[in-house]
Amino acid sequence: MPVIMKDNLLKRFSKYISYATTSDESSESYPSTKALLDFGDVMVEELKAIGLTQVEKDQYGYVTALLPANTTEAQPTIGFIAHMDTAPDMPGIAAPRILENYDGKDIMLDAETNTALTLADFPELADYKGQTLLVTDGKTLLGADDKAGMAEIMCAMEYLLQHPEIKHGPIKVAFTPDEEIGQGVKYFDVPKFGCDYAYTMDGGAIGELEYENFNAASAVIKIQGRNIHPGYAKNKMVNSQLIAMEFNSLLPENERPQYTQDYEGFFLLIHTEGTVEQSQLNYIIRDHDKAKFEAKKQMIQQITDFLNVKYDNRLTCEIKDQYYNMREKVEPVFYVVERAVKAMEKAGIKPKVQPIRGGTDGANLSFRGLPCPNIFAGGHNFHGKYEYVPLESMVKATEVIVNIARVD
């Protein structure tokens, strides 16, 4: 890719992250904020400006477009998807801090709070010595998840339009809202999108390629206590908070996120609140293996049942499945993974095929008939102030998109 592609990526990425598009998990609208609808309008204009056709934004905020085939040979229709929202964990940044020719040393993000990217905490930084790093101000997230993916898709489409000598079949683009709150493709019209298969540009470090993800569920435990004046509480008070603590203690400690890696699943207590009278525990449950996933859900229910016997039916448990491992839908059409592997190798990248320790829009799309592996967008440390992305990784991701589209 020419140097101008690097400059174009930086320009687009910087523009996209300047729009505040934090998704709102408490919202009852779809998309969850008006800002996402407005940002969709910006993307519609950009897609039209570079020359794509059938550009539209539907009532749910999904932005789609077509790059028509420039070859008469029959080719599959391939999609590339990225999400417009950023995580609600913290606000986004107005502009990236740009470190050209990174010296390979610790990076002070915010001296006031002594917030730094250190090699001790983030040893992978050393891999990017000499490159251009885009970092935060130490108070916000960056937004590379997933505005890096958006910029890469846009620049790849523009590059293909500018180089008609690169033959390709029909290419579809989609930008979606609310991925970060688990609602990214809730109303996405897969038949209308009309792709044989697609790729989400929503992965991490350069080379990552993922077609396996967690099976996921949520669990809400509600506990009804009985509050009595403590001076007269003997044999009467039932402290719901203590039951909540007991519930959590019965889950296996070694199956918490901080003790797991690779294919190991976990229970995560994401929120708790309570008084003597009433308490609530909110968990997420994750496992790549379907049988282990079901066993984890069963364990939550068994603990509930056990404590109900002990405490006279004071607990309720609601478990909801969220998404499933796309592996079972992708493996029968494994050529979609092989195509991405070849595209990376052609770009001089060693593919790192690994499971996602999370989920993507691609997981839900795969179960709705659109096989959709996940490709790196280049960022690190998503959802927080330590987020960064090497610009050279974004260049390579753009090159991979072009290589996937290319008809050899």
pLDDT in tens, 26-56: 899 999 999 999 999 999 999 999 999 999 9
Report the alpha-carbon distance of residue 15 to residue 223 in Å, rounded: 47
| Lookup: tokens for 73 | 């040979």
pLDDT tens, 341-369? 999 999 999 999 999 888 888 999 999 99
Residues 173 and 134 in one domain: yes
Residues 128 and 25 in one domain: yes
Residues 329 and 342 in one domain: yes
Report the pLDDT value the prediction gives residue 283, as an integer from 0 to 100.
Answer: 97
Residues 317 and 329 in one domain: no
Residues 195 and 219 in one domain: no
Report the pLDDT value the prediction gives residue 1, as an integer from 0 to 100.
Answer: 61
Task: Return the exposure string of 260-286: e unless at least 16 CB atoms fall within 10 Å of the residue's CB, then b.
Answer: beeebbbbebeeeebebbbbebebbbb
Evaluate the CA torsion angle 352, 128, 202, 292 in order and state its sign. positive
Q: Show the low-confidence residues of the chain (pLDDT under 70).
A: 1-4
Residues 6+ apart with CB under 8 A from 35: 19, 20, 21, 22
Report the pLDDT value the prediction gives residue 142, as an integer from 0 to 100.
Answer: 96
Residues 196 and 87 in one domain: yes
Residues 269 and 331 in one domain: no
Residues 297 and 355 in one domain: no
Report the pLDDT value the prediction gives residue 93, as an integer from 0 to 100.
Answer: 87
Q: How many domains does the chain have?
A: 2
- Domain holding 106, by residue range, is 3-212+325-405
Report the alpha-carbon distance of residue 121 to residue 126 in Å, rounded: 11
Which of 322, 343, 363 terminates a domain? The answer is 322
Report the pLDDT value the prediction gives residue 3, as an integer from 0 to 100.
Answer: 66
Q: Which CATH number fits the domain that encloses residue 287?
A: 3.30.70.360
Report the pLDDT value the prediction gives residue 94, as an integer from 0 to 100.
Answer: 86
Which of 322, 337, 371 terminates a domain? The answer is 322
Residues 331 and 318 in one domain: no
Which of 294, 322, 350 terminates a domain? The answer is 322
Residues 45 and 11 in one domain: yes
Q: Which CATH number fits the domain that encloses residue 155?
A: 3.40.630.10
Give the residue numbers marked as catalytic: 85, 179
Residues 65 and 169 in one domain: yes
Residues 123 and 271 in one domain: no
Report the pLDDT value the prediction gives residue 2, as an integer from 0 to 100.
Answer: 63
Residues 6+ apart with CB under 8 A from 232: none
Evaluate the CA torsion angle 4, 5, 10, 14 in order and state its sign. positive
Of the candidates 19, 24, 69, which has an alpha carbon nearest to the alpha carbon of residue 43? 19
In this prediction the pTM is 0.89
